[in-house]
Amino acid sequence: MTRIPEFRAAKWNEPVVMEMGRPGARGQLFPAPEEEVTQAVGTNLIPGAMARKDSAKLPEITEFEAQRHYLHLSQMTLGMMGISLFGTCTMKYNSKTAEYATLRPELAEVHPYQHPDTLQGVLEIIHDFDGILRSLSGMDQFIFQAGGGADAAYTMTAVARAYWQDRGMLGQRTEMVTSMQAHPCNPATAAAAGFKVVNLPLEENGYPSLDALKAAVSEKTALIMINNPDDMGIYNPEIKEWVKVAKEAGALCFYDHANFNGVMGKLSARELGFDACMFMLHKTFGAPKAGGGPAVGAYGCTDALAPYLPCPVVVKDGDRYVLDEDRPKSAGKVREFWGNIPQVVKAYAWSRAMGADGINLASDISVVANNYMDKKLAEIPGLEISNPSINAHRMEMTRWSLGPLTEETGVSTVDFANRMADYGIDPYWMSHEPWIVAEPFTPEAGELWSKEDIDTWIGVIAQIAEEARIDPEMVKTAPHNQAIAQVKGDAFEDPAKWAMTWRAYQRKILGENKAKGVA
C-alpha cells in the first residue's frame, strides 16, 4: 500500500519585507571612514547634482529579523524536498560536498582578472571538465560562458553568424530550421540573433518528416537546431539522415542536448554528425538550478567552428593553463567573463563521482524508471499517453495528457498541478508551447528517485484523479495545504493591477484602497 504524504506547508503569514521594521533599526553597520581618510579627502564627496537627497524607502530591521524573515520564506518553499518528477529539467541530487568546495575563498573570493598564475587550480578544473565533455560528445572544444541552456543556444547562433560572415555569406544564410517541438529557446535565440525561423510540423510518428526537412533546407539555411529525444520521449531514428541532408545544403547542425540524461554514455553528438552541441550543467550534470540560475549551458563544437567561439577559451600550454583571448575570428562575448564557474566545478565533481560506469548506469536507470512510471500511470483511468499508437518504450521522459479526465470532470492540468502542491509534491511540468496534446503533463523519472518515491508520486496522481471525480471544486480551488491559497491571475495581464514592486503596489492598489477609506 502506497503511503500518501499528509503535508501541511509552513504558513507564517509573513509580511512583505517592505512592511517590516521601525525607524532607525539597523541590520548591518559599516565603520566610519578613518580619521586620516576624512582629514585627507573631506566629506560630501559626491558632486551636488548627483548627491542623493531622499532616503531610499527600504525596510529598517535587525540582523535577526532579516534572518528570521528569509528563513520563514525558505520554509514556505518546497524546493524539491518532496518528490519532483519534473520533466525536461532532470532532477538530481546536488552534492553538498561540491557546493561547500565552491564556497571556499579559493573560489568564492577569486577575481577573473587575476593573473593566470594565481588561477591555476580553477583553470585546471575547467580544462579537465572540458575533456570529460569532449569524451561524452566527441566535440573538440567546450566553453562555459553561456549562463544557461538558452544562452548556449544563443551562443550557437552567434557562432553561426561569425562562421557565415567569415565566408561572406551572412547575407545569404539567413534561416534557422527547427522542429515545432524543439525547446522554445532554439527558435527564440535564433530570432533574437537575426535569423528567420522555419518550424517543421510533427507527423503521426511524433517527429517531423525527412521530406519536410528536405523541403525546408536550402542555400538560405544557416543552421538547424534540434533536440533528440524530444519532450514526448520519442527518439527520431532518422537523425543521422537529418544531419546528412542539412549538411548537403551547407547548413551547420546543432544538437540541443537538453534531454541528454537518457542517452549519456550511449550517443555521441559527433558520431551522429553534428557540428556542435550543448549540455546543461544544472540539469544533467548535477549542479543546482536554484530556482532559475546561476546555470551553465556548456557549448561544444568541432575544430572547424572553434575559431568563432566567444573568448576566453581555457587551454593548456605545457604545464600551465592559460586563457586564450587572441582569437581574431571570435563571435564576441555572449556574457562577461568565463561563465558561472562554481557550477562548472560542481558539474566536474558530479562527473568524477559518477565516473564512466556511473554515467552509463544513470542513463540506464533513468530510462528504465521512466518506463516503470509510464506503466503505472497507464493504470490510472483518465490519463492518456501522447502518441498512443507508438508502442515502443519511451526514453527518459514522457508526454502525457489529462484530456479524458478533464472531459469527465472539468479538472484541467493546471488545476491538477495546483493540487499536487498540497501533498508536498512539486507540481509537474506541463508542456512547452505550443501544447500539441490536450491538458499535457510531462513527467521524467530520472536516476535520483527510488522506486518507492515513484510509487508515492503515482499514488498522489491516482488520488487527485479520484478527487477530481468526487469533488472537482476542491481540486479547482487548490492548493489548500500550502503557505497561501491559489493566486488570482487576472492582475498579471492588467496594467491597472499588476505591481512588480512594493512602490507600484502602494501607488496602484493600497493608494486606491486608501482613497476608498479601506486602508
Partner 1 sequence: MTDTTRAHPWMANSAPGAIQAMLDEIGAASVADVFEQIPQDHFRTTPLDLPPTLSSEIELKRDLVSKLKKNSDCETNLSFLGAGVWQHHVPAIVDEIVGRTEFATNVWGSYQSDHGRNQAWFEFSSQLGALLNLDVVQLPVYSWGCAIGHAMRMAQRITGRSKVIVSQLSDPERLSVIRTYCQPSAMESHIEVVMVAVDPTTGRIDINDMKSKLDGDVAAVYVENPAYLGTIETEAAEIARLARAAGAETIVGVDPVSLGVMTAPGDYGADIVTGPVQPLGVHMQCGGGVGGFIASRDEEKYVLEYNGFLVSIVETLEPGQVGFGLACPHQNSYGSREHGKDWTGNSTYLWAIAGAVYMSLLGPEGFRELGNLIVSRARYAAKCLSEVPGVKIVWPDTTFKEFVVNFDDTGKTVAEVNDLLRARGIFGGKDISGEDNALGQSALYCVTEVHTAADIRTLCATLKEVLS
Long-range contacts of 475-480 (CB under 8 A, 24+ apart): 475/409, 475/411, 475/415, 475/416, 475/418, 475/419, 476/410, 476/411, 476/415, 478/415, 478/418, 478/419, 478/421, 478/422, 479/418, 479/419, 479/421, 479/422, 480/422
Binders of partner 1 among residues 209 to 228 (CB under 8 A) are: none
Burial class of 182 by CB neighbour count within 10 A (0 to 12, 13 to 18, 19+) = buried
Among 130, 139, 143, 151, binds partner 1 (CB under 8 A): 151
How far apart CA 446 and CA 361 sit, in angstroms, is 11
Using the minimum distance from each CB to partner 1, give the nearer residue, 392 or 470: 392
Among 1, 6, 97, 319, binds partner 1 (CB under 8 A): 97
From residue 302, give the alpha-carbon distance in Å to each of 106, 131, 132, 134, 281: 32, 13, 15, 10, 20
Residue 40 interacting with partner 1 (CB under 8 A)? yes
Residue 94 interacting with partner 1 (CB under 8 A)? yes
Binders of partner 1 among residues 396 to 415 (CB under 8 A) are: none
Sheet containing strand 384-385, strands side by side: 384-385, 400-401, 440-441
Minimum Å distance from CB 288 to partner 1?
Answer: 5
Binders of partner 1 among residues 435 to 464 (CB under 8 A) are: 447-451, 453
Minimum Å distance from CB 148 to partner 1?
Answer: 4
Minimum Å distance from CB 331 to partner 1?
Answer: 7
Using the minimum distance from each CB to partner 1, give the nearer residue, 86 or 465: 86
Residue 201 interacting with partner 1 (CB under 8 A)? no
Among 105, 318, 328, 517, binds partner 1 (CB under 8 A): 105
Among 66, 212, 315, 438, binds partner 1 (CB under 8 A): 66
Among 213, 276, 309, 334, binds partner 1 (CB under 8 A): 334
Among 1, 3, 32, 328, binds partner 1 (CB under 8 A): 32
Residues 6+ apart with CB under 8 A from 238: 207, 210
From residue 110, give the alpha-carbon distance in Å to each of 45, 129, 344, 429: 30, 19, 15, 37
Among 1, 3, 6, 115, binds partner 1 (CB under 8 A): 115
Minimum Å distance from CB 212 to partner 1?
Answer: 18
Using the minimum distance from each CB to partner 1, give the nearer residue, 168 or 515: 168
The three-point CA angle 164-169-170 to 5° equals 65
Binders of partner 1 among residues 478 to 507 (CB under 8 A) are: 479, 482-489, 491-493, 495, 497-505, 507
Using the minimum distance from each CB to partner 1, give the nearer residue, 218 or 360: 360
Q: 2: how many CB neighbours lie within 10 A of its CB?
A: 13
> Which three cell numbers mark 294?
546561476
Binders of partner 1 among residues 308 to 327 (CB under 8 A) are: 310
Q: 433: how many CB neighbours lie within 10 A of its CB?
A: 7
Using the minimum distance from each CB to partner 1, give the nearer residue, 131 or 410: 131
How far apart CA 428 and CA 461 sit, in angstroms, is 10
Using the minimum distance from each CB to partner 1, give the nearer residue, 45 or 515: 45
SS3 177: strand
From residue 154, give the alpha-carbon distance in Å to each of 51, 147, 333, 452: 40, 10, 11, 40
SS3 16: coil
The one segment of 179-187, 210-218, 299-307, 459-467 that binds partner 1 by CB under 8 A: 179-187
Q: Which helix (H) or strand (E) holds 243?
A: helix 239-248
Among 2, 167, 194, 203, binds partner 1 (CB under 8 A): 194
Residues 6+ apart with CB under 8 A from 2: 455, 456, 458, 459
Minimum Å distance from CB 461 to partner 1?
Answer: 15
Q: 42: how many CB neighbours lie within 10 A of its CB?
A: 8
**Residue 182 near residue 227, CB atoms below 8 Å:** yes
Using the minimum distance from each CB to partner 1, give the nearer residue, 321 or 465: 321
The alpha carbon dihedral of 494, 500, 504, 506 has a sign of positive
Binders of partner 1 among residues 347 to 366 (CB under 8 A) are: 349, 351-362, 364-365
Site map 231..270 versus partner 1, x via CB under 8 A: ---xx-x-xx----------------------x-xxxx--
Minimum Å distance from CB 215 to partner 1?
Answer: 19
